[in-house]
């Protein structure tokens, strides 16, 4: 028992040490260059100390017995995390700029040091405020046409409304999801596709807030595939809950839509990493197509992570719809997504496979989106 507990503590202890070091770095690089003497050091130090305390508390708050308190602490911690993230990046950028200036002829003036030290936290705050309003508004509809070779006339204009990465949890509740459902229903789509990371929390905590999904409307129904956050939150219970709400969960399986002369195969796989949580749930695009009609006009795969694409292309799919990346959510993190995923956002081609990666319909962690707006995607099949 004790070794297991130590193993759990070590990573969190490392996070605390890293946060302490990063906050100290910001303090050392900014506070000495601000006017105000001791008062500036006290105020600046207090703000950094508050940030250092709130962020870990926000991450731990889901373990609080008082759910209302947990939500309030999570809000405070996530707001702090959003501001701190930008503050850290801009402090580093400032240091790079100062290093370049130091290599040029002439000294760096005290005014440059002062003004840049004031500018960095002000810019971080401005971007966090703008990002907050971007994140909390209902996602806009993005329309995308996917060209399919030899698409039958019966499937011309077939429409899929995709939502992804909503992350219902401490800061995203029933009213937020209800607005998304209303916007999706207004699209009058043939299919609604939910490509994972719907929740951050258990069914017991969040079922009142995912209830609006029962109101989703589409000609051929609503379909869901698991994301990695479902496995952090109790995937089996969430699969059962979504089925109770009338959403079809595709676990390495498919359905045939528009039966007749132009059948369309809609398949779904479990999250790319699901096998680490349950080997029986390992993601398998080949299994998802097992016994699908050979004469299917289009084969569409719902897969949470874009990195399912190579296996999907090999399995014979024409289209893959994914999420997971959030498009980076806010600058500059979108530039780093490519180190883990083949695609960050938008429509791309991999061999014979079209891959569309949604920027997500909600957000994770900080309520902040900047440079990567959330989206409800209206995907339409058209003849190439």
Tokens of 307: 């990195």
Per-residue pLDDT tens for 74-89?
999 999 999 999 999 9
Query: Who contacts 259 (Cβ-Cβ below 8 Å, separation ≥6)?
Result: none
Per-residue pLDDT tens for 116-138?
999 999 999 999 999 999 999 99
How far apart are the C-alpha atoms of 257 and 271, rounded to whole Å?
Answer: 23
Q: Output b/e per residue, 162-185; b: 16+ Cβ within 10 A.
A: bbbbbbbbbbbeeebbbebbebbe
Q: What average pLDDT does this structure show over 260-267? A: 88
Per-residue pLDDT tens for 182-241?
999 999 999 999 999 999 999 999 999 999 999 999 999 999 999 999 999 999 999 999
Q: What average pLDDT does this structure show over 353-367? A: 98
How far apart are the C-alpha atoms of 222 and 194, rounded to whole Å?
Answer: 8
Instruction: Find, among 320, 276, 327, 283, the residue nearest to 301 by Cα.
Output: 320
Task: Domain 141-383: give its CATH code.
Answer: 3.60.21.10
> What is the model's pLDDT at position 67?
84
Cα-based torsion angle of the residue sequence 198, 248, 356, 166 in order, rounded to the nearest 10 degrees: -10
> What is the model's pLDDT at position 333?
94
User: Beta-carbon neighbour count of residue 316 at 10 Å?
Assistant: 16
pTM: 0.92
Given pLDDT bands bounded at 50, 70 and 90, which one contains residue 63?
Answer: confident
How far apart are the C-alpha atoms of 296 and 290, rounded to whole Å?
Answer: 13
Given pLDDT bands bounded at 50, 70 and 90, which one contains residue 260?
Answer: low
Question: What DSSP letter does each residue of 291-312 carry, written as one string?
Answer: T--TT-SEEEEE-SSGGGHHHH
pLDDT at 295 > cutoff 60 = yes
Q: What does the domain layout of the chain look like in residue ranges?
A: 2-135, 141-383
pLDDT at 4 > cutoff 70 = no
User: Beta-carbon neighbour count of residue 60 at 10 Å?
Assistant: 14
> What is the model's pLDDT at position 9?
47
Tokens of 171: 């800061």
Cα-based torsion angle of the residue sequence 170, 22, 3, 280 in order, rounded to the nearest 10 degrees: 50
> What is the model's pLDDT at position 61?
87
Per-residue pLDDT tens for 297-340?
999 999 999 999 999 999 999 999 999 999 999 999 999 999 99
> What is the model's pLDDT at position 343?
97
> What is the model's pLDDT at position 167?
98
């Amino acid at each position: 028992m004790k070794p297991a507990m130590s193993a759990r503590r070590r990573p969190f202890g490392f996070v605390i040490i890293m946060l302490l070091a990063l906050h100290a770095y910001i303090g050392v690089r900014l506070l000495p260059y601000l006017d105000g003497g001791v008062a500036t050091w006290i105020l600046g130090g207090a703000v950094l100390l508050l940030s250092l305390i709130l962020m870990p508390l926000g991450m731990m708050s889901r373990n609080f017995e008082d759910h209302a308190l947990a939500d309030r602490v999570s809000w405070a911690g996530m707001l702090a995390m959003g501001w701190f993230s930008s503050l850290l990046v801009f402090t580093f950028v400032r240091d790079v700029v100062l290093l370049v200036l130091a290599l040029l002829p002439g000294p760096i003036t005290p005014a440059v040091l002062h003004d840049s030290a004031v500018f960095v936290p002000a810019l971080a705050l401005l971007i966090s405020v703008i990002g907050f309003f971007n994140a909390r508004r209902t996602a806009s509809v993005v329309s995308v046409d996917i060209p399919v070779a030899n698409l039958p006339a019966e499937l011309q204009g077939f429409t899929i409304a995709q939502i992804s990465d909503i992350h219902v949890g401490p800061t995203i509740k029933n009213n937020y999801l209800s607005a998304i459902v209303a916007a999706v229903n207004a699209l009058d789509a043939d299919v609604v596709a939910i490509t994972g990371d719907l929740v951050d929390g258990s069914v017991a905590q969040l079922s009142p807030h995912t209830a609006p999904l029962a109101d989703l409307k589409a000609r051929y129904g609503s379909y869901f595939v698991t994301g990695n956050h479902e496995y952090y939150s109790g995937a089996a219970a969430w699969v059962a809950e979504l089925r109770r709400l009338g959403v079809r969960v595709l676990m390495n399986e498919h359905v045939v839509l528009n039966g007749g002369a132009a059948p369309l195969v809609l398949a779904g796989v479990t999250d790319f990493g699901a096998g680490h949580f349950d080997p029986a749930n390992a993601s398998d695009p080949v299994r998802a197509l097992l016994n699908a009609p050979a004469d299917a006009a289009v084969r569409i795969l719902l897969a949470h992570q874009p990195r399912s694409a190579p296996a999907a292309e090999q399995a014979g799919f024409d289209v893959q719809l994914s999420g997971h990346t959030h498009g980076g959510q806010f600058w500059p993190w979108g530039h780093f997504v490519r180190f883990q995923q083949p695609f960050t956002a938008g429509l791309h081609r991999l061999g014979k496979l079209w891959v569309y990666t949604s920027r997500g319909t909600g957000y994770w962690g900080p309520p902040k989106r900047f440079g990567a707006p959330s989206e409800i995607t209206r995907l339409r099949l058209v003849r190439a």
